[in-house]
Chains A and B, each alone.
Chain A
Amino acid sequence: NAGVMQNPRHLVRRRGQEARLRCSPMKGHSHVYWYRQLPEEGLKFMVYLQKENIIDESGMPKERFSAEFPKEGPSILRIQQVVRGDSAAYFCASSPPGGTGSYEQYFGPGTRLTVT
């Protein structure tokens, strides 16, 4: 009964490199959300995906950031040409397929990205 899994837990990148963050949702969950948390701040929504579809990317920066959730495999958050301001904790959450009512989002342990 594994929960939401994220890897790596810690990632260090130099300015200009690419960062790839992976998220495997809980078994049976088909909705994935990515959030960013800067030090001492709340979580900020980035993107909401279902399998092979981006449903809402209103929180994603327009440049350098992209996300996917392929038919097979984990969801990937990709940050190209990282800058120091990208240093943050990136949390992934998943929820079951929608129906009536709303569902709790289960959070993964996060990936702490440090850009040097």
Chain B
Amino acid sequence: GQNIDQPTEMTATEGAIVQINCTYQTSGFNGLFWYQQHAGEAPTFLSYNVLDGLEEKGRFSSFLSRSKGYSYLLLKELQMKDSASYLCAAEKGAAGNKLTFGGGTRVLVKP
């Protein structure tokens, strides 16, 4: 079976940092994706981790610990446009396989 858990909602102030945690229990785990989804729109790719450690990409960073079944997405210097849902998704199996998504974390950035 597969289980992906992430908080439902988080609120932060413009310019601050927010960390969104994601825990997973997935047999045949291959890698971990983070997507951003604005209301009524398609998810857009943010990051992909397959090895343990931190991947930094501008204001966004993602971390993975395979032994702990844990990942986080770090958003720095928050901007109002970062208000969106952030989806954690575990990839199972070989390349090009299905993603199992968590319920998403709605982040609200306040001025």
Contacts and interface: CB of A to CB of B under 8 A. Distances in A.
A100 B94 CA distance: 8
A56 B42 contact: no
Contacts of A69: none
B30 interface: yes
B95 A107 contact: no
B87 interface: yes
B43 A100 contact: no
A102 interface: yes
A105 to B, nearest CB: 6
B23 to A, nearest CB: 14
Nearest to A92: B42
Interface residues of B, number: 26
B52 to A, nearest CB: 16
A104 B48 contact: yes
A102 B50 contact: yes
Contact of A31 (B44, B48, B96, B104): B96
Contacts, number: 68
Interface in A29-74: 31, 33, 35, 41-45, 48, 56, 58-59
A25 interface: no
B87 A42 contact: yes
B101 A44 contact: yes
A108 B42 CA distance: 6
Contacts of A108: 42
Given A91-B42, A104-B45, A109-B41, A42 B103 contact: yes
A98 interface: yes
Contacts of B30: 102
Nearest to A48: B98
Interface in B6-34: 30-31, 33
In order of increasing CB-CB distance, the 7 nearest A-B pairs are A98-B96, A98-B95, A107-B42, A42-B103, A42-B101, A43-B101, A45-B98
16 contacts: A33-B99, A42-B102, A42-B103, A43-B87, A56-B97, A58-B98, A59-B98, A96-B96, A98-B96, A101-B50, A102-B97, A103-B96, A105-B99, A107-B44, A109-B41, A109-B42
